[in-house]
Structures are given as structure tokens and as C-alpha cells.
Amino acid sequence: MLSIRSRGKNGNYYIRGTVALGDRRIDVKEFSSGTSDKDAASHLMAEYETKLREQLMFGPAAVLAQGSIADAFDIYLSKAKRPCRSDILRIGKLNERIGGFSLQEPKLAWEAFRRAHLSGHAPAGQDRYRAVFQAAINAHRELHDAPPLRIKAIPFDNQRVRFLTKEERDRLIACYAPHIQPIITFLAFHGPRVQTALQMKWGTQGIDMQRETIWLAHSKNAVVQSVPIHPRVKQALLPIWEKRGRPIQGHVFLNRRGVPYQDTRLARIPGGNPLKHQHRTACKRAGIQDFSIHDWRHHWASHCVMAGIDLITVMHMGGWRSLRMVQRYASVGSDHMRAAIYKLD
């Protein structure tokens, strides 16, 4: 049986105990009812006990029949160690549109959301919504001993690899506005995502000029790596650091007005790039075509492979979660070796 007891300064009632049916039982760890009203707490306890008895009698299907998509989102956010900001925003939008749908038909809920609200998104963007939706549903199903659900991935071409020669790289960097050049140098020689770079701060949890290390928080995949500062990046950042009085906190990169760049990952709909127009202008000046601001990341990874760095190391330094995501760069190394061998007489 479940029981309640009052605890704490506020006198809130807590529920705990065991619910049994035959030789099966569910142990309930103590949790707050959220109220100091005994009648309300008793009513909540009775409802909860009824649900647990139905689960024991009918299995996980009983829980799924009663739950909503919003319940899955609540469980996912409470269990996730460090959900990225963009995923939290995606869950908010999903919850607003389909949170009231039943957990019995999650695939129908997903298709309804995708058709109504994602038609203008690129396939890769749609798949990020799908991935976080699936993770939330499966967090709920795992908690209630139900088998995991798989929602078919959105197909998209994620094999683009675009990089510059070293001469093109230096020419393009020189064509950016002076206050942008240190940022681009950082992208070219360390390969972070643009917003990861723009939100870098001075100090041990960012760019530590005294130790000559960079702590890269690749927030998209919650991977953190500390790496040595590349000499070119140190050369670009040292005058900034010295001019500001050798700070140990605060944003490294400031815009033309001298204030930090907006973190567009916190926008209601994630996206946007504050360097887009400057990048387009620089590419035009340098005569570089078909090279996006994100391609600096591909450029960095490609040159790592051509320099003989193994894919595992590239994966860790670049903050990718799996080796599969960097396999595209393997062919770059092969092409580079082929070009090198053809130079032999």
C-alpha cells in the first residue's frame, strides 16, 4: 500500500510505499505530492495507486493508453543530463503543437506535426526534430518497461565536403573585416561550429591564453574537449587579449559595436548567422565560390585528415558524437594521397 506523510517547513505531503498484485509489485520511491492539503494529497495518492495497479494488471499498454505526448517530454527533460538549448526549444514547439496527443499513436502525432509545421525546413532540420521527439517518447517507454519506438529518419544528403587550398584560405581570411578575421582564423584552425566560436569566453572554461589551451564546449552533442591553441589562432587573439588587459572572463569576440554576438541558438526558432553577410562579401572579394560559413568546419576537418590526423582524433577534437559522422572525410585523405603519389617521377 502507498502512504503519505508530512515533511519540511511547508508541510508538504510525500508519497511512498509498494503496490502489489499477486506476486508482482512496484516499489515507489518517496516523492512530493506538491501540496500541504492532506485531502488533496490523499486523492493524488489514490489516483497514482490506481494507475500502478492497472499497469500491473494490463502491462505497459495501460500506461501508454492514459498518457499524452506532453508526459513523455516532461520525463525526457527531467532525465536528460544536459539537453542542448536548441533541443529544449524544439521540444517546446513540439509540445505546443502535439503535446495533447495520446502516447498510443506517437507516429501519427509526429506525422501531423511534420506536415503542418516542418514543410519549409530542410531535411536535416526536420530530422533533428524527429530525433528529439523519438528520444522523448523512448524515455517514457523505457521508464514504463515498454519496447522502444523507432521513427523512420528523414533522408538527407549529409556528405558535403568543401575545403580550400591553403592559399585560398589565407586570401579569404584577409578579405574579411578586421574585427571578423580573428573569428574566421579560429574557425579555420579549430573547426568549431559558428555559434560555439562566437560565444567563447576567456578563462579556463574557454580560451586560456596563459595555459595556451581552448576548452571547446560542442553544445550540439554535449561534448567538451580541451585542445592546445593553434599558433595562428594565438597570433590572432594575443593582441585582443593584451588590449583588453589580459581578461580571465567575458566574451572573446565582440561585434563592431563592441558587444557580444547574439546567441541565435536561444531564438524561438533556432537558426540565423550573424556573420552571413560579412562572409558573403569576403568570398566575393576573394573570388571564392560555393563556400558557406559552415564549410570552414569541413575545411578544418579535411585538412586534419590530409595532415595525417586519424579520424578518431578528428572526431574528438571536432566534437562529433560518432565515427560515422566523420567518415565522409576519409575519401579526402585518399584523394590527397593519390595526388601526392602522382607527383613522383
Mean pLDDT of 250-274: 79
Note whether 83 and 136 are same-domain residues: yes
Instruction: Look up residue 110 and give its three cell numbers.
Output: 509526429
% pLDDT > 90, the chain: 44
Q: What CA–CA distances, in Å, run from 290 to 161, 163, 164, 296, 340? A: 11, 10, 11, 12, 25
Q: Higher-confidence residue: 276 or 81?
A: 276
pLDDT band at 167 (very low <50, low <70, confident <90, very high): very high
Does residue 153 belong to any structural domain of this protein?
Answer: no
Does residue 325 belong to any structural domain of this protein?
Answer: no
What was the pLDDT predicted at 189?
96
Note whether 42 and 136 are same-domain residues: no
Specify the amino acid at residue 296: W
67: pLDDT strictly greater than 50: yes
Does residue 341 belong to any structural domain of this protein?
Answer: no
Note whether 32 and 80 are same-domain residues: no
Q: Higher-confidence residue: 340 or 180?
A: 180
Last residue of a domain, one of 80, 108, 143: 143
pTM of the model: 0.60
114: pLDDT strictly greater than 80: yes
Mean pLDDT of 36-53: 85
For residue 175, give its domain range.
168-291
Q: What are phi and psi of 84, to 5 degrees?
A: -70, 160
Per-residue pLDDT of 178-237, as tens digits, reads 999 999 999 999 999 998 999 999 998 899 999 999 988 765 444 556 889 999 999 999
Q: Higher-confidence residue: 272 or 255?
A: 255
Does residue 298 belong to any structural domain of this protein?
Answer: no
What was the pLDDT predicted at 82?
66
Note whether 54 and 81 are same-domain residues: no
Q: What is the residue whose three cell numbers read 528520444?
A: 135
What was the pLDDT predicted at 7?
83
Note whether 179 and 136 are same-domain residues: no
Q: Higher-confidence residue: 68 or 174?
A: 174
Note whether 185 and 284 are same-domain residues: yes
Note whether 27 and 106 are same-domain residues: no
Per-residue pLDDT of 301-336, as tens digits, reads 999 999 989 999 898 888 887 787 788 888 787 777
Mean pLDDT of 50-61: 70
Mean pLDDT of the chain: 85
What was the pLDDT predicted at 269?
47
Does residue 314 belong to any structural domain of this protein?
Answer: no
Beta bridge partners of 225: 216
Does residue 242 belong to any structural domain of this protein?
Answer: yes
What was the pLDDT predicted at 62?
60
Note whether 45 and 125 are same-domain residues: no
Q: Of all residues in the chain, what percent are helix, strand and coil, respectively (each to 5)?
A: 50, 15, 35
Q: What CA–CA distances, in Å, run from 277 to 164, 261, 268, 272, 274? A: 20, 14, 22, 11, 8
pLDDT band at 81 (very low <50, low <70, confident <90, very high): low
DSSP state of 100: T
Q: How many domains does the chain have?
A: 3
Does residue 345 belong to any structural domain of this protein?
Answer: no
Note whether 284 and 190 are same-domain residues: yes
Note whether 137 and 231 are same-domain residues: no
Answer yes or no: are the C-beta atoms of 153 and 134 closer than 8 Å. no
Q: What CA–CA distances, in Å, run from 122 to 118, 261, 274, 276, 336? A: 8, 25, 20, 18, 31
Long-range contacts of 285-289 (CB under 8 A, 24+ apart): 285/175, 286/168, 286/171, 286/172, 286/174, 286/175, 287/171, 288/164, 288/168, 288/171, 288/172
Note whether 287 and 172 are same-domain residues: yes
Note whether 82 and 23 are same-domain residues: no
> Rounded to a whole number, what is the distance in angstroms from the first to the last CA of the chain?
86
Rounded distance, CA 269 to CA 93, Å?
Answer: 9
Does residue 13 belong to any structural domain of this protein?
Answer: yes
Q: What is the CATH number of the domain that holds 196?
A: 1.10.443.10
